[in-house]
């Protein structure tokens, strides 16, 4: 099965002191050990960069650009980066209008548009409720993946 990783899973992987770190790490490891295909898209790269380089006092990691570059390189080695395609914009426009998406959740709709364009049907995220409105995808949480494996 193929799964797109939400940016919040990627950021939790790099925060060993965060309460969600172990769930993110263990769920990703379990899926990789099963031989599942785990994907990221350019949207993840942009969002990761914003969090990684934003000052710690502003809910970021405060990384220098060189360190953020190195962390991104590692993520791109671990997960397959799907490229942006022209059709993603039109797909996103349809989603935001059809689902009355407003504000910051438009970023989530862009992930769904990329999923639809690339035929990826499952999303791993800590924010399952952000994606509940979108039909045709399966949304799972790291905790849910781990619980289902027991």
- Among residues 94, 117, 118, 92, the alpha carbon closest in space to that of 106 is found at 92
Reported as a single tens digit per residue, the pLDDT across 40-63 is 999 999 999 999 999 999 999 999
How far is the C-alpha of 62 from the C-alpha of 42, rounded, in Å?
21
- Maximum Cα–Cα distance across the chain: 41
Q: pLDDT tens digits for the chain (150 residues)?
A: 899 999 999 999 999 999 999 999 999 999 999 999 999 999 999 999 999 999 999 999 999 999 999 999 999 999 999 999 888 999 999 999 999 999 989 999 999 999 999 999 999 999 999 999 999 999 999 999 999 998
Q: Are 46 and 31 in contact (CB under 8 A)?
A: no
Please write down the HEC assignment for all residues of 79-107: CEECCCCCHHHHHHHHHHHHCCCCCCHHH
- Looking at 3.40.50.620, 3.40.50.800, 3.40.50.1010, 3.40.50.300, the CATH number of the domain 2-149 comes to 3.40.50.1010
Q: How far is Cα 36 from Cα 57, in angstroms, rounded to an integer?
A: 36
**Is residue 3 helix, strand or coil?**
strand
Give 110: exposed, middle or buried? Use CB within 10 Å, 0-12, 13-18, 19+: buried
Crossing angle between the packed helical segments 42-53 and 105-118, to the nearest 10 degrees: 150
Residue-range domain boundaries for the chain: 2-149
């Amino acid at each position: 099965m193929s799964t797109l990783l939400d940016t919040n899973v990627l950021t939790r992987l790099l925060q060993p002191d965060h309460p969600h770190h172990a769930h993110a790490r263990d769920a990703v490891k379990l899926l990789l050990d099963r031989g599942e295909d785990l994907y990221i898209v350019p949207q993840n790269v942009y969002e990761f960069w914003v969090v990684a380089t934003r000052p710690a006092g502003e809910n970021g990691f405060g990384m220098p650009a060189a360190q953020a570059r190195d962390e991104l390189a590692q993520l791109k080695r671990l997960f397959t980066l799907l490229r942006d395609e022209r059709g993603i914009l039109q797909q996103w426009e349809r989603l935001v209008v059809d689902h009355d998406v407003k504000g910051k959740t438009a970023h989530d709709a862009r992930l769904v548009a990329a999923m639809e364009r690339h035929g990826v049907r499952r999303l791993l995220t800590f924010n399952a409720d952000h994606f509940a409105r979108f039909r045709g995808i399966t949304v799972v949480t790291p905790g849910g993946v781990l619980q289902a494996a027991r």
